[in-house]
Amino acid sequence: MTDPQIIAQVVANVFAVRETPGRSLLEALIDYLRYKALLLVLDNCEHLIEACAQLTDSLLHGCPNLKILASSREALGIAGEVAFRVPSLSLPPASLKAGSNSLAELEQSEAVRLFVERAQAVSPAFYLEQENALAVAQICRRLDGIPLALELAAARVRVLSPTQIASRLDDRFRLLTGGSRTALPRQQTLKALIDWSWTLLSDSEKILLRRVAVFTGGFTLEAVESICADPASAREVSLSDYEILDLLEGLVNKSLIQVGEEGGQARYRLLETIRQYALDQLLLSEEAPQLRDRHLEYFSRLAEQAEPHLQAARCLNGWIAWSVTRTTCAPPWNGA
């Protein structure tokens, strides 16, 4: 569906509810469902999020025994909603090493099990063994446990070994194509899947998402505000610092940025697949040199501020180590 005006009509068609004189279709649908105990599923609401939210709110207020399960990349944002974030598939441990226990550890991973299942569907002779175990683990981790990405990678087993697939993941958007012909266009390639999410973003969200691609390994709100906001002196401000928090929250809600806590403060990160896509968008925007310079300046300044504290910590640790040994040698900081 692409037209938000016909959502109520589509739902009504499922129950063969028709509009009658003096009563709107939504009112007829509410009357039909009012005393029924059932579960209504609304799948893929993200591109019609406001219309789905309005319909859901109206139905729940008028139908006390109705439950609605809505799938979307972000919550509907209505009263009474309980959001459950569906995680990526579980990954094999990063510390996995070749050996007799590696296969048993790999088989505990949901991502590995999906990859093997799909690989065997296209190449029945394929099976998980010591020779390909580490390559399969690398594929699953680098693809962040994203089911469609794993399925597309597994389809390449027809012509490539797992080691070859893993070595080509730096160009994953060219490699991971050729999904099911009967799938929706956005589910036939990895790039099309992320294109779909990208097109649903506002212009400001697109700007921030492509700019945070300069970070690897995560970032803080302060770093984003310093590096990704346009300077106040800019003639045409495209992204101001006071917008950053709201835009960042929006991207978290849309499952494009992940958030956790570290050292008592929020820390954000991109899945590597999302980061590579956003980095491509950054390069196309011609902002990359400017963002690179801001990134260098920010972390150079941070390192300069941290250096005295690091020196003091090294001196303290050295003094403790020297005191414990109780030797007659000079203190380890050589009088500094």
Q: Which of 282, 210, 204 is nearest to 237 (CA)?
A: 204
For 70, list phi and psi in degrees, rounded to 5.
-115, 130
- Band of pLDDT at residue 328, cut at 50, 70 and 90: very low
Once rounded to an integer, what is the mean pLDDT over residues 289-316? 81
3-state class of 149 per DSSP?
helix
- The larger pLDDT score, comparing residue 286 to residue 168, is at 168
pLDDT, position 296: 93
Q: Flag whether pLDDT at 325 surpasses 50.
A: no
- Band of pLDDT at residue 308, cut at 50, 70 and 90: confident
- The larger pLDDT score, comparing residue 46 to residue 321, is at 46
The model's pLDDT over 244-282, given as tens digits with 9 standing for 90+, comes to 999 999 999 998 999 998 888 899 999 999 999 999 999
pLDDT, position 228: 92
- The larger pLDDT score, comparing residue 12 to residue 318, is at 12
Could you tell me the two tokens for 202? Answer: 């506002």
The model's pLDDT over 178-200, given as tens digits with 9 standing for 90+, comes to 766 666 677 678 899 899 899 99
3-state class of 146 per DSSP?
coil
Question: Which percentage of the chain shows pLDDT scores above 90?
Answer: 62
pLDDT, position 51: 95
The model's pLDDT over 129-166, given as tens digits with 9 standing for 90+, comes to 989 999 999 999 999 999 999 999 999 999 999 999 99
CB-CB contact of 108 with 128 (8 Å):
no
Q: Flag whether pLDDT at 332 surpasses 90.
A: no
Q: Flag whether pLDDT at 290 surpasses 80.
A: yes
For 249, list phi and psi in degrees, rounded to 5.
-60, -40
What DSSP assignment string belongs to 305-330?
HHHHHHHHHHHHHHHHHHHHHT-SSP
CB-CB contact of 79 with 57 (8 Å):
yes
The model's pLDDT over 70-115, given as tens digits with 9 standing for 90+, comes to 999 889 999 999 999 888 899 998 877 766 567 888 889 999 999 9
Question: Which percentage of the chain shows pLDDT scores above 70?
Answer: 86
Q: H helices within the chain, ranges in order?
A: 7-14, 25-33, 49-62, 102-106, 110-122, 130-142, 147-155, 162-167, 172-175, 190-199, 203-211, 221-228, 244-253, 272-285, 288-325
Distances (CA, A) of 101 to 91, 166, 292: 16, 21, 43
pLDDT, position 21: 85
pLDDT, position 327: 41
Could you tell me the two tokens for 152? Answer: 């597309």
pLDDT, position 63: 95
pLDDT, position 240: 81
pLDDT, position 330: 38
- Band of pLDDT at residue 313, cut at 50, 70 and 90: low
Mean pLDDT (the chain) is 86
